[in-house]
Amino acid sequence: MSESEVLSKLAADVDSALSAAQELDEETKKKFLKLKEALEAFHKEGLVTLVKAVKSDERGKELLLQAMEEPSVYALFSMHGIIKPSLRARVVEVLEQVKPYLSSHGGDIELVDVEEEVVYVRLHGACAGCSMSAQTLRDAVEETMRTRLPQIKRVEQVTDMAVSGFLSIDQDKGWVEGPLLETIAETMNNGAVYCMLQESVLLMQSEGRLFAFRNACPHMGLPLDGGKVEGETITCPFHGFKFLRSTGECLTAPEVQLEPFPLKIVEGRIWVRPQ
C-alpha cells in the first residue's frame, strides 16, 4: 500500500468514527467527545514539547521544516494548532468575509499579493469599472482588513494584467524558479494539474490563467494533485472536498480555502513565491 493510500485509509477511519459518534445517544456522545478532547489535548502537549526541543537546535529547525513537507505531519501539526496560518492565509480569510458585500453590488475581489504591511487586490465585475472602486476598497475591504489584521496598514488595487492573462508581480524577494511554461502548456491545456517544489506547490489553470496553491487540502492536509479536474473545479481524492481552480474557494465547506501563492511568468519561465 502506497503512502497516499495509507493516509487515505487513516483519514477515512477518523471520518468514519466521527460519523458513527453522531448516531450515539446524547449522553454517550458527550462522553465520546470528552474522551476525544482529552486525547487531543494530551497529544498536543507532547507534540508542542517535542517541537520546542527540536527548534532549539538549528539543524533541528531544518529537519522540522522538512518533516512538515510530509502531508501526514503537516495535517497533524495543523490539527493541533502548532502550525499557525500564514499572514497570506489570514488575509484570504478576511477577503472571504467581504466577498458577500461586494457580490451584492455585482462585484468580486481577488488577492494578488501580500507584501509586509500592504495587501494588493484586484476587483472584478461591477466593482472593477466603478468610479467608486477606491471608496469600496477603503470602506469595505481596508476597514475590515485593518480591524481583523492590525499589522496590515493599507489595501491597494492592482489593475494591470500580465501578457496572456497571467499574473505578474514585480517584487523579487522569495521567488522560487519553476518550469518553463512551454514544457507544461499541453498538460495545463488538457485540464490537468502540475506540481513543483517536491510536489508541495500545485499549479492549476482556469480560463487561460495560471494559479499556484499549496498542495494540501485544508480539511486534513492531504495532497490534491490526484484529484479529479472537472470544469473549473478540482476534487480532493481523499474526502471529496471540491475547490474552484481559480480562487481556491471550497464549494463543499465555504469556511475553508486553498492557500494561494503569488505566481509570475518571466521570459517564459514560471516563478512561485511560497509563504
Q: pLDDT by residue (tens digit) across 237-260?
A: 888 899 998 888 888 887 778 888
Instruction: Check if the beta carbon of residue 210 is closer than 8 Å to that of residue 180.
Output: no
Whether the predicted pLDDT of 169 surpasses 70: no
Higher pLDDT: 1 or 197? It is 197
Whether the predicted pLDDT of 172 surpasses 70: no
Strand ordering across the sheet containing 263-266: 176-180, 269-272, 263-266
Judgement on whether residues 10 and 70 belong to the same structural domain of the protein: yes
Q: What is the pLDDT of residue 33?
A: 86
CATH number at residue 128: 3.30.300.130
Among 43, 60, 79, the domain-final residue is 79
**What stretches of 43-117 adopt beta strand conformation (E)?**
107-115
**What stretches of the chain adopt beta strand conformation (E)?**
107-115, 118-125, 154-157, 176-180, 194-196, 201-206, 209-214, 228-230, 233-235, 242-244, 260-261, 263-266, 269-272
Q: What is the pLDDT of residue 161?
A: 39
Judgement on whether residues 23 and 67 belong to the same structural domain of the protein: yes
Q: Tell me the mean pLDDT in the region 195-215.
A: 86
Whether the predicted pLDDT of 136 surpasses 70: no
List b or e across 219-246, with b for residues whose CB sees 16 or more CB atoms inside 10 angstroms: bbbbbbbebebeeebbbbbbeebbbbbe
Q: What is the pLDDT of residue 234?
A: 92
Q: What is the pLDDT of residue 159?
A: 58
Place of cell 475581489: 109
Q: Tell me the mean pLDDT in the region 162-169.
A: 35
Judgement on whether residues 168 and 234 belong to the same structural domain of the protein: yes
Look at residues 219, 218, 250, 221 and name the one whose alpha carbon lies nearest to residue 234: 250
Least reliable range by pLDDT among 7-11, 24-28, 108-112, 115-119: 7-11
Look at residues 155, 151, 152, 119 and name the one whose alpha carbon lies nearest to residue 136: 155
Q: What is the pLDDT of residue 257?
A: 85
Judgement on whether residues 124 and 200 belong to the same structural domain of the protein: no
Judgement on whether residues 146 and 172 belong to the same structural domain of the protein: no
263 beta partners: 272
Q: Tell me the mean pLDDT in the region 197-201.
A: 82
Q: Tell me the mean pLDDT in the region 129-156.
A: 75
Q: Tell me the mean pLDDT in the region 132-142.
A: 67
Judgement on whether residues 259 and 173 belong to the same structural domain of the protein: yes
Cβ neighbours of 176 (radius 10 Å) = 13
Instruction: Check if the beta carbon of residue 248 is closer than 8 Å to that of residue 256.
Output: no
Among 79, 99, 132, the domain-final residue is 79
Judgement on whether residues 73 and 95 belong to the same structural domain of the protein: no
Neighbouring residues of 231: CB distance < 8 A, sequence distance ≥ 6: none
Whether the predicted pLDDT of 268 surpasses 50: yes
Judgement on whether residues 182 and 268 belong to the same structural domain of the protein: yes
Judgement on whether residues 50 and 93 belong to the same structural domain of the protein: no
Neighbouring residues of 151: CB distance < 8 A, sequence distance ≥ 6: 87, 117
CATH number at residue 195: 2.102.10.10
Provide the number of structural domains found in the chain.
3
Whether the predicted pLDDT of 166 surpasses 70: no
Q: Residue 140: give the domain boundaries.
A: 87-157
Residue 124 — pLDDT band, cuts 50, 70, 90? confident
